[in-house]
Amino acid sequence: MAVAIMAAMAGFARGRNYVVGAPTGGWDLRTNYTLWASTKTFYPGDTLTFLYGSSHDVLEVTSVAYGSCGTPSNPISSDKSGNTTVALKAAGTRYFICGTAGHCRSGMKMAVRVASSGSPPPSPLPDFPPDGPADPPSLPFPPLSLSPPAPMGAAGGACVHAKVAADLGIGISMMMAMVAVAAAL
């Protein structure tokens, strides 16, 4: 029992599981996978779960096969089980298609960009010539004040302390449960 609790905790800390197309779809011909994937940020340790019927499959393919919707004779991986789980182990882009004739061309394909495990990259800055833009943009609001921010009130600090206390309480409760289970063995 203690091993099961520890395994569950390790799985929770490792990453998120994304059911492809959820909550409104699945691995089917109706879901817009470009839109679905663009609303998620995937990291190493996350997993994708493809749920689908017997007329579909999941092929992981190269970017070339993805772009042409060609079904390769030797995909990176393939599965027809109806419940395919793919671990996202490293940063980079992964490509998935349905190998059933015509399905990829009908939109049943998905590119997943796995971000590095650090923070997301900063937004790119505009490309201006070295001496600045030709016409500086007008500001729709007054310039920022350089004075220091106002001190955080008791309410703001209380929220931070309450969250830390709640997180700490959950951690302590889980540890106590593991100790109790281990003692019972």
- The pTM is what? 0.58
H or E segment and range at residue 10: helix 2-14
H or E segment and range at residue 58: strand 58-61
Residues 84, 32: contact at Cβ < 8 Å?
no
Res 70: pLDDT: 85
Res 14: pLDDT: 62
Res 72: pLDDT: 82
DSSP collapsed to 3 states, 72-89:
CCCCCEEECCCEEEEECC
Residues 74, 29: contact at Cβ < 8 Å?
no
Res 185: pLDDT: 61
Would you write out the chain's pLDDT as a tens digit for each of its 185 residues?
A: 444 444 444 444 469 999 999 998 899 999 999 999 999 999 999 999 999 999 999 999 999 999 999 888 899 999 999 999 999 999 999 999 999 999 999 999 999 999 987 645 444 434 333 444 444 444 444 444 454 555 555 444 444 444 444 454 555 555 555 555 455 56
Residues 6+ apart with CB under 8 A from 72: 59, 61, 62, 65
Res 164: pLDDT: 42
CATH architecture of 15-114: Sandwich (2.60)
DSSP SS3 for 164: helix
Res 184: pLDDT: 56
- The two structure tokens encoding residue 63: 């970017």
The separation between CA 176 and the C-alpha centre of its own chain, rounded to angstroms, equals 31
